[in-house]
Amino acid sequence: MKKIIIAPDSFKGSLSAIEVCRAVKEGLLEKGDFEIEEIPVADGGEGTVDSFLSIFGGEEVFAEVKGPLFKNITARYAFLNNETAVIEMASASGLTVEKEKKPMRATTYGTGQLILSALEKGAKRIVLGIGGSATTDGGVGCAQALGARFLRKDGKEISLGGEGLLELSEIDLKGLDRRLSETELLVLCDVKNSLYGKNGAAYVFASQKGASEEEIEVLNRALKNLAEVSEKALKKDYAFCEGAGAAGGLGFACIAFLGGKLVSGIDYVLKSADFENKAKKASLVITGEGKTDSQSLMGKVLTGITQKSGKTKVAVITGVFEGDEEAFRKIGVTQIVEVNKKHLPFEEILATAYEDLREAAKNIKTD
């Protein structure tokens, strides 16, 4: 019996990676009998907690924290083997948490509160996925929740959000939670952007979070000020480390203030799932995502899957394909199956997304 691995990302806004696995499996089993293994994956964004719970089991933990606009919300994370917490910053500080977008004020404070909750549960390792953020605050809110102080010239705390970084004059890390120094902090990050500048967090990502051109300029200046004040305080410049600009600068805060280490999100998830060894024993690997385009070639789930699948064929099932097929063949994709071939508006296909995906899965060649 042929073995097939289904290892998709979520279809953002419609189906979780677990639901994608189920729909594709149902479609395949209508074609014939296969040995199927489901490995829902993520690269550090939404779905990372679900992926680890699916792979390892564990406890789902809920915590009351502050959302991006400092409103009370309930966020969740996973606690595995009584020592490892897996946190998605998107759960507390993500774009989907609150309908209103205020990019100048959005804070990562709630993400820091999730880390604090994990420390209080006794976590010895924290795996923090930093995709899907609503914030451009340089990760300062996260550090504040963990005891760091970011001060104005008059000695008062700066205001929350990216705009507040313009007021920053002094950094005091003496109050940081001491448990951080005894805890391994692994940050899942698949972008290499700097904290500020033309390749930085504001210019590249802030428009996705609702920032106008004027606000982007302000946020870039604010992040530059954070970098300059931090360099004076730490005697080291972290602003141009790869990934410093991830999640609006949360990557920067993790390495500069919290002792974190940035690692490839998809590589870490696939290694945790022992994907490479499993792929060697399969005749086909099926991966997928809601939209596949040129960005899919830039260190995300699809790229990680093709790199770790070895000689095993890789099929992609996607909601919408807007890429160059030849470019995908070059990285090892043998077939692409599109669900929404007519490229109908998202609102029109949302209600039938699961059924449409299941039907499209029947078109995957398994020979």
Angle between helices 353-361 and 17-29 (to 10 degrees): 40
- pLDDT averages per 10-residue partition of the chain, 367 residues: 94 91 96 94 88 92 97 97 95 93 97 98 97 96 98 96 97 97 95 95 96 98 98 97 96 98 92 95 96 83 93 96 93 95 90 96 94
pLDDT digits (tens, 9 = 90+) for 193-213: 999 999 999 999 999 999 999
CB of 105 closer than 8 Å to CB of 71: no
CATH architecture of 3-41+276-361: 3-Layer(aba) Sandwich (3.40)
CB of 141 closer than 8 Å to CB of 104: no
For the chain, domain boundaries:
3-41+276-361, 48-265
C-beta pairs of 51-59 under 8 Å, 24+ apart in sequence: 51/17, 51/269, 51/273, 52/78, 52/80, 52/86, 52/127, 52/269, 52/272, 53/78, 53/86, 54/18, 55/272, 55/273, 56/80, 56/81, 56/272
Q: How far apart (Å, rounded) are the C-alpha atoms in residues 159 and 162?
A: 9
| pTM of this structure | 0.91
pLDDT digits (tens, 9 = 90+) for 289-343: 999 998 888 767 899 999 999 999 999 999 999 989 999 999 999 999 999 998 9
CATH architecture of 48-265: Alpha-Beta Complex (3.90)
CA 306, distance to chain mean position in Å, is: 19
